[in-house]
């Protein structure tokens, strides 16, 4: 299979790149900026191309040239507050670029896999199944709903992978994530406030990569919720990290989200029901406790 991946420099994209580099597929990893992936990933069947996906002409040119069988669209502006403050830029990446990629995919009859988010939901009635109605509470979520609608109405063979609160080892691009923020602060003896009134089902990044690859291999279609099975607040996650690493959990202060001044509203209770992915893909997530043993 020939695969084009967007957002290869991101937290998910870099881990997906590691996985795809080790397969027999031909993969073109793309990013807007200089490639930050390790040189060890590159070979005849894993190649980097610089691509600004907000440029419709350049996007069409590259995809028409490469003729991928599958486009995995992992690039996005995901920082909620940034999206609220710069809506036009957020729209151009999360919606406009999706439109360009879909148009190019139609030219070469490529399948399309969009990576989406739990933030398409209101957070009033989680955990959510794939059939629940979307109702975002921030602009980031609004743009992802619009991107999903573009994909679903495209006429392509499509899949949408919604995921939630990613964590794992520092990725190949050396990006950090929540559990490292907890670890680093506790190791430094810094007291930190951690939200305890937002509920999620955190996703171990290798599990998400595996779920996406299962969809690609099986040619699965439709919406899939890919996350962990543990229903947790960020504070509960932080406690688990402290316990596992034998760090001082007295430095952790549970607080309500209202403690923080945030421009964009966050949904209070999301989390996913993942029975469809288990049944149709053979997806089996790693427990949070077991994931910590794999990370540290």
SS3 sequence of 8-63: CCCHHHHHHHHHHHCCCCEEEEEECCCCCCCHHHCECCEEEEECCCCCHHHHHHHH
User: What is the Cα–Cα distance from 225 to 129, expressed in whole angstroms?
Assistant: 7
Residue 278 belongs to some domain of the structure: no
User: What is the Cα–Cα distance from 196 to 198, expressed in whole angstroms?
Assistant: 6
Query: What is the span of the domain harbouring residue 196?
Result: 168-200+230-270+287-295
What CATH number is given to the structural domain containing 265? 3.90.25.10
**Does the pLDDT at position 98 exceed 90?**
yes
Residues 157, 215 within the same domain: yes
Give the position of tokens 């739990």. 118
Q: 274 vs 146, 169, 282, CA distance in Å? A: 23, 23, 11
Res 172: pLDDT: 63
Residues 208, 100 within the same domain: yes
Res 199: pLDDT: 97
Q: Span 44-63, mean pLDDT?
A: 97
Residues 196, 209 within the same domain: no
Residue 280 belongs to some domain of the structure: no
Quote the mean pLDDT of the chain.
96
Residue 243 belongs to some domain of the structure: yes
Q: Where are the beta strands (DSSP E) in the chain?
A: 2-6, 26-31, 46-50, 70-73, 111-117, 158-163, 166-167, 192-195, 203-204, 222-225, 252-255
Residues 256, 157 within the same domain: no
Residues 10, 152 within the same domain: yes
Residue 139 belongs to some domain of the structure: yes
Helix 97-108 to helix 56-66 angle (10° resolution) is 30
The predicted-structure confidence for 22-39, as pLDDT tens digits, reads as follows: 999 999 999 998 999 999
What CATH number is given to the structural domain containing 53? 3.40.50.720
- pLDDT category at 176 given cuts 50, 70, 90 is confident
Q: 243 vs 19, 142, 228, CA distance in Å? A: 30, 37, 20
Residues 103, 221 within the same domain: yes
Residues 247, 112 within the same domain: no
Residue 115 belongs to some domain of the structure: yes
User: What is the Cα–Cα distance from 264 to 128, expressed in whole angstroms?
Assistant: 21
**Does the pLDDT at position 203 exceed 70?**
yes
**Does the pLDDT at position 171 exceed 80?**
no
Residue 277 belongs to some domain of the structure: no
Residue 15 belongs to some domain of the structure: yes
Q: Span 40-44, mean pLDDT?
A: 96
User: What's the pTM value of the predicted model, to 2 decimals?
Assistant: 0.97
Residues 50, 192 within the same domain: no
Residues 244, 97 within the same domain: no
Residues 58, 97 within the same domain: yes
Nearest-CA neighbor of 86 among 134, 143, 127? 143
| Total domain count, the chain | 2
Q: 247 vs 122, 176, 196, 207, 291, CA distance in Å? A: 35, 19, 19, 26, 18
Residues 31, 160 within the same domain: yes
Residue 108 belongs to some domain of the structure: yes
**Could you give the maximum distance between any two Cα atoms of the chain, in Å?**
57
Dihedrals φ, ψ of 24, to 5°?
A: -90, 0
Residues 14, 103 within the same domain: yes
**Does the pLDDT at position 173 exceed 70?**
no
Q: Span 48-73, mean pLDDT?
A: 98
């Amino acid at each position: 299979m020939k695969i084009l991946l967007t957002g290869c420099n991101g937290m998910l994209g870099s881990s997906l790149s590691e996985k795809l580099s080790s397969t027999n597929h031909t993969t073109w990893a793309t990013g807007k900026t200089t490639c930050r992936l390790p040189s060890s990933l590159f070979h005849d069947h894993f190649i980097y191309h610089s691509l600004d996906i907000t440029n419709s002409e350049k996007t069409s040119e590259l995809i028409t040239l490469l003729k991928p069988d599958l486009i995995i669209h992992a690039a996005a502006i995901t920082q909620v507050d940034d999206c609220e403050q710069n809506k036009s830029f957020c729209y151009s990446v999360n919606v406009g670029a999706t439109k360009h990629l879909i148009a190019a995919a139609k030219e070469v009859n490529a399948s399309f896999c969009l990576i989406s988010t739990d933030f398409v939901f209101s957070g009033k009635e989680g955990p959510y199944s794939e059939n629940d109605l979307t109702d975002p509470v921030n602009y980031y979520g609004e743009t992802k709903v619009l991107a999903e609608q573009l994909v679903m109405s495209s006429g392509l063979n499509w899949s949408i992978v919604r995921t939630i609160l990613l964590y794992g080892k520092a990725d190949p691009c050396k990006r950090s994530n929540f559990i490292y923020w907890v670890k680093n602060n506790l190791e430094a003896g810094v007291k930190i406030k951690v939200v305890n009134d937002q509920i999620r089902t955190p996703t171990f990044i290798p599990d998400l990569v595996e779920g996406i690859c299962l969809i690609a291999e099986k040619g699965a279609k439709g919406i899939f919720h890919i996350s962990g099975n543990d229903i947790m607040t960020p504070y509960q996650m932080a406690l688990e990290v402290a316990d596992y690493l034998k760090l001082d959990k007295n430095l952790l202060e549970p607080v309500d989200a209202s403690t923080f001044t945030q421009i964009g509203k966050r949904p209070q209770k999301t989390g996913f029901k993942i029975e469809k992915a288990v049944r149709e893909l053979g997806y089996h997530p790693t427990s949070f406790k077991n994931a910590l043993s794999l990370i540290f």
